[in-house]
Structure 1
Amino acid sequence: MHVSKPPENPYIKQIFEEFSDVSKEMGVSVGIKHKKINVSNPRVAWEHEQFSRFRVTALTLSEMSTPPEFLESTGGLHDTRESTDVESVIRTVRLVSESLARHIYGLRGRNIDVFAENSSLAINPRYVRSWLDLLSRTPRVAPFLQKNDPFIAALKKELSEHTSDVHVQSDALEGMFTFYDTTKATLNVYQVASVTFDLLFLLVLGSYLIVLFCFLVISTRVWTIS
């Protein structure tokens, strides 16, 4: 768990304790790492730092202990749906959902599993797999997501079924790159003459002018002598 506020912060401490309790019950470990924000650097190391700049309590969960370098661990051609560990994703979903549910409803210290197995609120593996299939087919970076993208509409519809008030808000994240949401445009391609043609044309034109100049000079001298 990566945070920008000190671990002694009451909110950060409470959230970390919730995650620690649930992780112990699931047989996994969760640690906390504190890293201050470098305000002079436009690039953020972790996603939560964008919100921490505005004094919003946020954190990032990652299996990496240190932030990746620029364009490191960003996926590639082999980052496909088949390479995804579904069981690991399901376990992570349960860890996050159970921890947040206990934190929101103040259930810490009580012997209550909100998303217990074989219950009506248990994590549905088919549901997780269906979203993984959709995510693997959908580009999720800013240049390829339009404001009315079907993927965003699907997220809004899904949230609307479980909550009472859902709004889509577009925020411009400051950084070293500028992204545009227009993904469809008209490309005009023109076939022009090569450089060799230009050189030959220049040579022919120059030769013509030289011959014309010589002809005019000779003609003028002959006319003068006559």
Structure 2
Amino acid sequence: GIRAARSNAPTIAITAHYDTFAAAPGLAVGSSDNGSGALVLLALARMFGTLYAAPESVPNPNILFLLTGAGELDYMGLKHWLKTADNRVLDSLEFVICLDTLSDWANPGANELYLHYSKPPKDPTVQKWYDRVEQAARKEGVKLTQLHKKVNLASPQAAWGHEHFAQQKLLAATLSAVQWSRKPYGASSILDRPGSLNLTFLAQTARVVGEAISMRLFEDQGQDLHLFKPGGALDASMPFMAQWASLFGRTPRMPPYFGRDSPLEGAMMGVLKEHTTKASKLAFPLDKSYVFYGGDQAQLSVFKTAGAVFDLALFGLVLTYLAALFVSIRVLTQGWKSFADIFVAPPKKGKKGR
């Protein structure tokens, strides 16, 4: 995370899961779900790292970046972190924004965001956070719809990551490009490829999150700041996002086949170490209720066979060969006359008289 100027400052958390799910694990690259969320989180770490690097502009709140695994398995990594995190960290959380499926692979042209939350905006503090996100979206020209849905405790699978925070009485919301959660099986697709990503819209989404948080960071100044304006020093880097979109797009990340010491995981940790005050990695075991068989990749052999024309030609050659063989044997054994008699009609028999 990024430390604030004061030691007892509140914390704003940004979280996303980076794993995927599909029937073919070796093809589960999940560029939209949830490579897009992890991509925007890394971009935000870079943007806020630049902001906090200037001593004169260090705001009071801390910013925590949380990348988790096994998100497609009921957010198992997120739940493990909530169970093991220091109580002081949890108590300091003022707001948590979860980034999930920020690009819809089934509808790549849609440029709309949804803010999902479980806690109704009755409290002024809660309402203020929801309003900040909406104001930031309006500033970036992005349509945003707020959707309130209570946590279904009877469901075996949480619809969104923020629901696990809500069960801990923590204020959280999920920002997504889809209106309904598809996890886990509805989100699985080998067609979720890098071509479905709209990097321009993802950069806009990063600015929406950045502007919403900056309204809280500098609210005491009483002015409308636009820190993450397009083309500015704090804007999301398009080459950076394109590089990470390509990396996510060629790396299957389905648990448990995704290696703990994979190059992708090391690269993500490298970005967080470079742009945050402190970065650490926490391993956790997968729930035994999930059983996986076999490997994530297998070799498929495909053999090209001749078409129907070849079969017809071969049939004609064999038929010609057999006919020639028959003629040769007939002529050699019985002579040409015998062979010619085949084509001569037999004489008609006359009728006998009474």
Aligned counterparts of 1:85 and 1:95: Cα–Cα separation in 2: 15
Aligned counterparts of 1:59 and 1:6: Cα–Cα separation in 2: 11
The farther-off stretch of 8-17 and 38-47 is 8-17
Give the letter for the 2:212 counterpart: S
Percent identity over paired residues = 26
2:181 corresponds to which residue? 67
The farther-off stretch of 83-92 and 7-16 is 7-16
Aligned counterparts of 1:12 and 1:175: Cα–Cα separation in 2: 37
- Per-residue CA shift, 1:111-132, capped at 9, x if unaligned? 2111123322122111111111
2:156 corresponds to which residue? 42
Q: How far did residue 18 of structure 1 move? A: 1.1
For 1:17-56, list aligned pairs within 5 A.
17-56=131-170
1:57 corresponds to which residue? 171
The structure, 1 or 2, with the larger RCO (C-alpha pairs under 8 Å, 6+ apart) is 2
Q: How far did residue 179 of structure 1 move? A: 6.6
Aligned counterparts of 1:116 and 1:58: Cα–Cα separation in 2: 25
1:97 corresponds to which residue? 210
Q: How far did residue 173 of structure 1 move? A: 7.4
Q: How big is the alpha-carbon RMSD for the aligned residues of Structure 1 and Structure 2?
A: 3.0
1:30–1:42 distance in 2 versus 1, CA, 3 Å: same
The farther-off stretch of 87-96 and 125-134 is 87-96
Aligned counterparts of 1:30 and 1:172: Cα–Cα separation in 2: 37
Query: Does residue 235 of structure 2 align to residue 122 of structure 1?
Result: yes
1:38–1:120 distance in 2 versus 1, CA, 3 Å: same
Contact 1:102 1:108 in 2 (8 A): no
Contact 2:207 2:229 in 1 (8 A): no
Normalising by structure 2, report the TM-score.
Answer: 0.46
2:271 corresponds to which residue? 158
Aligned counterparts of 1:99 and 1:59: Cα–Cα separation in 2: 13
- The runs of 5 or more residues in structure 1 that have no matched partner are 185-226
Q: How far did residue 11 of structure 1 move? A: 4.4
Alignment size in residue pairs = 183
Contact 2:257 2:295 in 1 (8 A): yes
Q: How far did residue 158 of structure 1 move? A: 0.5
- Per-residue CA shift, 1:80-100, capped at 9, x if unaligned? 112322222222122122222
